Amino acid sequence: MPQPPAPLPPDAVTLEFQRVTRQFGARLALLDVTLQLQPGVVGLLGPNGAGKTTFLNLAAGLTSPSSGQITWLGGLPRRHPQLDNRIALCADGDQLPRRETALQWVAGLLRLAGCTALIAEQRAKQVLDRVGLSAQQGQLLSKLSRGQRQRVKLAQAFALPAALVLLDEPLNALDPVWRRQVAALIQEAADAGACVIVSSHILEEVEQLAHFLVLLFKGRLVAAGRQQDIRDMLHNQATVLEITCSDPRALARELLARAPVTLVRIANDTLTIQAADADSLCRALPQAVVASGLVPAQVTTHGDDLVSLFQALAAEVR
């Protein structure tokens, strides 16, 4: 079995994009992306068509940039021998062969990675067991459910310890139990020193996994940073409160006196109010409620979460 690579230092650069652009004919899939990623769990976020799969294919070395440069593991170029078995990929889509069993498929990939037949079979059984497929390891892939085939793809990605693990929509078709189990696998790989990139169009899903977020929109990098850095950006965007109460005009007057309000709208018993940042509005609300003597029946916030931040950032590059 290939020897597991020594883990990279926590501050090492696992993957670096330098002004990377990728075009497919006239279609621009990725534009001028510059980014450094280190060991840990990275969330790659964006709506369908944002360029996430193109980014992962470039990161895996499956395709080369139209312009710019990509290096791996501290500066290694594409196809460098030291990259062998150090990059793992769980691709999106259901493209597994139908005439092989789960065990044959994973063991065959391990043979291609340099394992002996005996070691490949042993390791394949271990990793299939880890994803709950011991009982199905001898079944044809065509007979497995979509969720089970997804777990086979994850098994192949985690079959060998890699320095860079690329997971394209890895939680698709998984039930809540297996989402938690896969999240544990991801965290274990990161704890062992890997950079694990998890692609998704569901912000809330990746927010629970990743310490570092990369946001793509229409092939452009709109934000990248630690979760706290991204959250700090929320304070620079407008926050909206919708407040239902018996006298919205009275409450609006008190809020206008206490917060940098930029918008006020009243419809029936609902006050919609916008301020320059979340902190000022949230600090002013309790004071305004006390001063007005009103008891709000309902308070709803908009614009103070990662979904709203992503929408605001994406709007800047539309």
Domain that holds residue 297: 238-302
The per-residue pLDDT for 240 is 79
pLDDT given at position 282: 79
> What CATH number should be reported for the domain holding residue 187?
3.40.50.300
Check residue 127 and give its pLDDT: 97
Give residue 29's pLDDT band: very low, low, confident or very high (50, 70, 90). Answer: very high
**Interval 225-249: pLDDT, tens:** 987 787 666 555 557 789 999 999 9
Quickly state the pLDDT bin for 2 (edges 50, 70, 90).
low
pLDDT at 228: 77
pLDDT of residue 262: 85
Residue 145 lies in a domain: yes
199 and 251 within one domain: no
176 & 220 share domain: yes
Decide which of 179, 203, 226 is a domain's last residue: 226
Q: What is the pLDDT of residue 317?
A: 55
Give the count of beta carbons closer than 10 Å to the beta carbon of residue 35: 16
Mean pLDDT of 65-71: 97
Residue 51 pLDDT class (50, 70, 90 cuts): very high
- Asked if 201 and 291 count as a contact pair (C-beta separation under 8 A), the reply is no
Asked if the model's pLDDT at residue 316 lies above 90, the reply is: no
The most confident of 81-95, 106-120, 292-306, by mean pLDDT: 106-120
Determine, yes or no, domain membership for 187: yes
Q: What average pLDDT does the structure give for the chain?
A: 88
Q: What is the pTM of this model?
A: 0.78
pLDDT of residue 70: 98
104, 134, 161 — which closes off a domain? 161
| E strand or H helix that includes residue 189 | helix 176-191
Residues 255-308: pLDDT tens digits?
999 888 888 999 999 999 887 666 778 788 899 999 999 889 888 876 555 555
Rg (CA), the chain: 24
Q: What does the pLDDT average to over 123-138?
A: 96
Structure tokens at 212: 């570092």
Evaluated on CA atoms 20, 44, 184, 187, the torsion sign reads: positive
pLDDT value of residue 126: 97
Contact criterion met (CB below 8 Å) for 251 and 294: yes
Domain final residue pick, 145, 161, 177: 161
Amino acid letter for position 175: D
